[in-house]
Amino acid sequence: RAIDGIPTATFLWKERGVVPFLKIDKGLEAEAEGVQLMKPIPGLDALLDRAAKAGVFGTKERSVVNAADAKGIAAIVDQQFAIGRQVAAHGLMPILEPEVTISISDKPQAEALLQAEILKALDGLEGTVMLKLSLPTIPDFYLPLVRHPKVLKVVALSGGHLRAKANEILAQNHGIIASFSRALSEGLSAGQTDAAFDAVLKEAIDGIHAASIT
């Protein structure tokens, strides 16, 4: 769409300083081998062409890890990087998002397998990607990814943690910034007055920002 004849993404970026990303996945497949891969994305090349022309900076695509299954995690990383390369071919920055479910009993093992697969995929990558990952069990566990020359930025999803807990964990992970949605919207309601809504949102943003720069 457009604002005053300017593509909305371009307007947000150039006029408001908001860097625009486009969510491109179409949901998740049924779980197999401990993961949920992305469903096929029909018409993706045409969509990416439109996004580039509209001034979108990058894309986001989510899949889910529900167990420390080596074969499944390898498949999820392969799919994420394949889509990422397709996105990059259109001049856009891909955010790869293989989310690890925070409630699984083998989360540390899943994170170790995931990081190992991502590092292998990065070694064969031309260009750069961003990574959106669940907050790790071990503080600073993802520093090898944060410091990798082919990773523009690692951002964290809240994954179902309440905002206070998500901020606490985020502050322990240097070089990672928040990309929270569920935690950001915590406490917001359509029934609030504008002033109350703005106050709750400001408190959320201030707290998340502070955790991101610790």
Active site residues: 97, 132
* Displacement of CA 185 from its chain's centroid (Å): 16
Positive or negative CA dihedral for 133, 107, 159, 71?
positive
Residue in 123, 179, 174, 172 with CA at minimum distance from that of residue 151: 123
Widest distance between CA atoms in the chain: 51
The β-bridge partners of 151 are: 129
Q: What angle do CA 149, 153, 158 make, to 5 degrees?
A: 145
